Structure 1
Amino acid sequence: MTISLPTLMLLPGLNCDAAVWAPQVAALKSQAHCVVPAWGLRDSLTAMAEQALAEAPTERFALAGHSMGGRVALEVMRLAPRRVTHLALLDTGTHPLAAGEAGEKEKAGRLALLKIAREQGMRAMAREWTKGMVHPQRIGSPLFEEVLDMFERGSAAQYAAQINALLNRLDATPLLAKIQCPTLVLTGREDAWSGPAQHEAMAAAIAGAKLVIVEHSGHMTTMERPQAVNQAFAAWISRT
């Protein structure tokens, strides 16, 4: 008798592809059938969430999102919470674009990187962007080059579409109190984009959530410290 594995949807972040989840797909192959969507030119979090729901091969599934993918995961929870059996939010956030000067600063920073991507190419952009994405000790390392390779596989048009999705994000904070499935909230200790304090607040707002802070890791936890993430996932996916 063949017993089919449960589905695990793994949602990548801004300009990331399946490589960001490769260590988890390999580690969890005996526990789950993993599906990693490719966002292409979709330019809203809602469109991405609808894609994830459409691509899920089973009615119910476990759901994990990294960075922007975490925001997409929360949008899935808004649209179809009953379809999700387990939720993992990694290196992400719930806040909307800030009002005033702070929001304008974020927008200007993202558009400046997009300008580099359009004029000098994706790898030149990624070389600047990734310096803030990994633990400082990993800058220039083979892992750093892997991240650059991943970002280079994307296009400036794709990058622009996904930046638009992030700049138009809504406040997902009210959703947290409504989440009832087993939830993992995880980030890197040195994540400069979405660090421990932000994730502590998210975990506190979700009933029964498990908080994991991965030591010696920046924003790219799934690639920087795959064993730590894999251990957290194995425990999370087995919760009932």
Structure 2
Amino acid sequence: MHYIESGVGPPLVLLHAFPVDARMWHGTRALLEGQARVITPDQRGLGQSPLDGSSAPNLADEGATRRAAEQPDLETVATDVIALLDGLDLSEVVLGGCSMGGYVAMAVLRAAPERVAGLLLADTKTIADNEDQRANRRNVADRAEAEGTAGWLAENSLPGLVSRTTRHERPGVVDEIGTLIDEQPAEGVAWAQRAMAARPDSTGTLRGFTGPALVVVGEEDAITPPETARDVTAVLPHSELVTLPGAGHLSAMETPEAFANAVLPWLDRIG
């Protein structure tokens, strides 16, 4: 599992959204690394992480890697994350995720709750997809495998991923996100879509988490809007909610300074 690491302090693992990779955290990383050891992995099949899990020691045998490829599941990504923590000798971390990264964080919480000292969820939701949403994900996966992803995936994704404010005032950010989308391997995009379609409802998982939690949402997030973030916050026993003006679904990328300003005091409070 490829990852980027920088900074000093308590370990903060940040999991990226779909359909980008760990580079989405670059702007925020520069603002967080003075207070935290920031670790940002690429999910399997995206960025520089291989789809077959060949860099994950827990999936080293051929049969296991083949089953993982045949049956996309975010629980597999959670296993990759836990293996990364083991490899870095980290017994527990503050674990964060944006959108799909939030789904993976919830899967880690199901698999190894003792490894999560604090939870940061950005622009994500607890509930599973409905059948229409699952069908749409499967259609995107099929198209990615048939045609690749160049051009159309970014064109279709960007309107939902970024806010109106970002489109009007930060066109460079829109271009950067589009470039990241275009660079993702088609097979990884397809695998991630099918894995997200198969994910379970995580409401009960979050309800059982008794550690500190921070929920961050872009005020203009059209995919998981502020009311969804309020629902996420409501099921977490010890949580705070921060809404970021002018940000959409990729709030950490669109408004990195505001995102960091929400996270840093929370990290300070939880020690």
TM-score normalised over the length of structure 1: 0.90
Deviations 1:39-63 (A, max 9, x none): 2236311011111111122111111
Q: 1:26 corresponds to which residue?
A: 30
> What is the Cα deviation at residue 183 of structure 1?
0.5
Q: 1:50 corresponds to which residue?
A: 79
Amino acid at match of 1:197: E
For the residues of structure 2 that align with 1:24 and 1:122, how far apart are their CA atoms? 27
Alpha carbons 1:114, 1:125 under 8 Å: kept: no
> What is the Cα deviation at residue 123 of structure 1?
2.8
Sequence identity of aligned pairs in percent? Answer: 31
Q: Does 1:121 align with 2:121?
A: no
For the residues of structure 2 that align with 1:27 and 1:204, how far apart are their CA atoms? 28
> What is the Cα deviation at residue 23 of structure 1?
1.7
> What is the Cα deviation at residue 29 of structure 1?
1.2
Q: Secondary structure at the match of 2:224?
A: coil
Q: 1:94 corresponds to which residue?
A: 126
Alignment match of 1:198 (pick from 215, 219, 228): 228
Alpha carbons 1:182, 1:239 under 8 Å: kept: no
Amino acid at match of 2:224: S
> What is the Cα deviation at residue 216 of structure 1?
1.2
The CA RMSD over aligned residues, in Å, is: 1.7
Deviating more after overlay: 121-130 vs 177-186:
121-130
For the residues of structure 1 that align with 2:262 and 2:211, how far apart are their CA atoms? 16
Q: How does 1:197-216 map to 2 (within 5 A)?
A: 197-216=227-246
> What is the Cα deviation at residue 162 of structure 1?
0.1
Q: 2:133 corresponds to which residue?
A: 106
Q: 1:6 corresponds to which residue?
A: 10
Amino acid at match of 2:118: H
Q: 1:156 corresponds to which residue?
A: 186
For the residues of structure 1 that align with 2:185 and 2:113, how far apart are their CA atoms? 32
Deviating more after overlay: 134-143 vs 66-75:
134-143
For the residues of structure 1 that align with 2:153 and 2:78, how far apart are their CA atoms? 27
Q: 2:108 corresponds to which residue?
A: 76
For the residues of structure 1 that align with 2:18 and 2:181, how far apart are their CA atoms? 9
Count of residues in correspondence between the two structures: 232
Alpha carbons 1:5, 1:31 under 8 Å: kept: yes
For the residues of structure 1 that align with 2:148 and 2:116, how far apart are their CA atoms? 41
Q: 2:201 corresponds to which residue?
A: 171
List runs of 5+ in structure 2 lacking aligned partners. 1-7, 46-50, 52-67
Alpha carbons 2:16, 2:22 under 8 Å: kept: yes
Alpha carbons 2:148, 2:186 under 8 Å: kept: no
